[in-house]
């Protein structure tokens, strides 16, 4: 094992963070004397000539094609075509950390790591999977989940996925099932779980009461001695449409709950700020009792993983996002798009509530995000194909019995027609 990895492990020893690491996670480090580190040092001290980075430079400025410059007039060449640091643009990392605290007042006074920039939320979840999961470990996931978890956790990490029923019999979050599954899935005193709210594919977020039960349950398991990695997939964070819904990230409840819990927030602007193709995400750690030095050790490991897989994330996307977040009127405009989605959500609720057709379709609970699901009394795949072929309507079939509808992608004036077509198609197939 590399001496730098050994040094980082020594810093982390005695913490849940270290105990939860995979073998890969324990071996990983960021090369302090590598090309990137030496180039960073030269950027500060090489006042005469800097012959380190593999970029073409003219008058100390990266060469930028005029066609590229014409497309990005608000950015300098250093903000567009130069390499970004492996952990991300520092000013953006600091800004995103400020945003996390602003949007999650429950984190007031809680020490967190500085977010690392990753190439989209998928890249962030994948990195966390590499650093903590491996063959022989289990990860607890709701039975309603984003299909990419299969590729990441099962196929790539070779971990065993253990499913629990997402909804309870009364239609809310199945907290008891989650906690029971976690306790039964522990291996060598360690348990791994991923929580995703608003949930993809159901569009459900828990109530304040449900989150309080999750928090108490995690605390009880940790006090029994279980070490818990809680991955919080916040892809759709902020898109909450009902008053009783818990409106912070559940990360805020777990980040300082117990020294046996390491919480990891994976988030980004993709859906929250409506920049789907930017491929910029963030990974932030929170754990009771972790020092700045220990957070730095975790960050150096993950930065090494980023360096070894992606090198760095998109420089222009990071700088466009940073400038947008700091621009006047940006937050008000973003909030207006939230309101647009909320209007579509309420229209869907209205249409479903007054329907007299489509009785083979039972809506699952939904209150947030981009989607809602129907449980299909029949073949969801047949319904999907009929909608596509006979009506020119695209939907998603999941697990052969659910039909996912992304109301986020349909204008409010077309919502009623969309759902009436779905109901009509279901009647033709199943009545």
The domains of the chain, with CATH numbers, are 3-30+86-325 (3.40.640.10), 330-430 (3.90.1150.10)
Q: In this predicted model, what pLDDT tens digit does every residue of 294-313 receive, in sequence order?
A: 999 999 999 999 988 888 88
Say if residues 330 and 324 touch (Cβ distance below 8 Å).
yes
Q: In this predicted model, what pLDDT tens digit does every residue of 98-109 receive, in sequence order?
A: 999 999 999 999
Q: What is the pLDDT of residue 34?
A: 67
Q: In this predicted model, what pLDDT tens digit does every residue of 100-147 receive, in sequence order?
A: 999 999 999 999 999 999 999 999 999 999 999 999 999 999 999 999
Q: What is the pLDDT of residue 41?
A: 72
Report how far residue 2's alpha carbon sits from residue 9's, in angstroms, rounded to the nearest whole number.
11
Average pLDDT of adjacent 10-residue blocks, the chain of 431 residues: 94 97 95 73 70 74 81 86 88 97 96 96 95 96 95 96 95 96 95 97 96 98 97 95 95 97 95 90 97 96 91 90 93 93 97 94 96 96 97 96 96 97 95 81
Q: How far apart are the first and last CA of the chain?
A: 64
Please tell me what DSSP assigns to residue 113.
P
- What global pTM score does this model have? 0.93
Length of the chain: 431
Report how far residue 244's alpha carbon sits from residue 234's, in angstroms, rounded to the nearest whole number.
19
Tokens representing 212 are: 């309080």
């Amino acid at each position: 094992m590399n001496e730098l990895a050994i040094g980082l492990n020594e810093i982390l020893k005695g913490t849940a963070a270290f105990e939860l690491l995979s073998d890969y996670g324990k071996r990983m480090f960021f090369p302090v004397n590598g090309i990137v580190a030496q180039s960073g040092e030269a950027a500060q001290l090489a006042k005469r000539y800097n012959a380190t980075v593999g970029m073409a430079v003219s008058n100390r400025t990266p060469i930028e094609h005029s066609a590229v410059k014409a497309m990005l007039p608000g950015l300098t060449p250093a903000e567009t075509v130069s390499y970004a640091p492996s952990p991300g643009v520092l000013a953006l990392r600091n800004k995103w950390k400020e945003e996390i605290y602003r949007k999650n007042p429950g984190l007031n006074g809680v020490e967190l790591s500085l977010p690392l920039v990753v190439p989209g939320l998928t890249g962030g979840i994948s990195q966390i999977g590499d650093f903590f999961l491996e063959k022989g470990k289990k990860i607890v996931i709701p039975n309603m989940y984003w299909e990419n978890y299969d590729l990441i956790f099962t196929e790539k990490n070779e971990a065993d996925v253990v499913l629990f029923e997402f909804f309870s019999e009364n239609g809310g979050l199945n907290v008891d099932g989650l906690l029971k599954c976690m306790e039964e899935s522990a291996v060598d005193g360690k348990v791994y779980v991923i929580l995703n709210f608003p949930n993809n594919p159901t569009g459900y977020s828990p109530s304040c009461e449900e989150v309080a039960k999750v928090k108490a349950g995690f605390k009880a398991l940790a006090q029994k001695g279980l070490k818990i990695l809680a991955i919080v997939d916040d892809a759709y964070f902020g898109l909450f449409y009902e008053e009783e819904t818990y409106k912070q990230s559940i990360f805020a409840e777990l980040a300082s709950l117990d020294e046996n819990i390491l919480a990891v927030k994976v988030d980004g602007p993709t859906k929250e700020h409506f920049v789907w193709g930017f491929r910029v995400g963030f990974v932030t750690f929170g754990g009771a009792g972790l020092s700045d030095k220990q957070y730095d050790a975790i960050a150096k490991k993950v930065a090494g993983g980023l360096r070894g897989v992606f090198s760095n994330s998109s420089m222009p996307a990071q700088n466009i996002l940073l400038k947008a977040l700091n621009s006047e009127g940006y937050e008000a405009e973003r909030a207006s798009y939230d309101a647009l989605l909320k209007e579509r959500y309420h229209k869907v609720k209205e249409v479903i509530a007054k329907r007299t057709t489509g009785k083979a379709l039972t809506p699952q609970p939904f209150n947030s995000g981009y989607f809602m699901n129907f449980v299909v009394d029949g073949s969801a795949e047949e319904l999907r194909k009929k909608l596509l072929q006979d009506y020119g309507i695209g939907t998603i079939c999941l697990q052969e019995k659910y039909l996912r509808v992304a109301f986020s992608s349909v204008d409010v004036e077309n919502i009623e027609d969309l759902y009436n077509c779905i109901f009509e198609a279901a009647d033709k197939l199943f009545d």
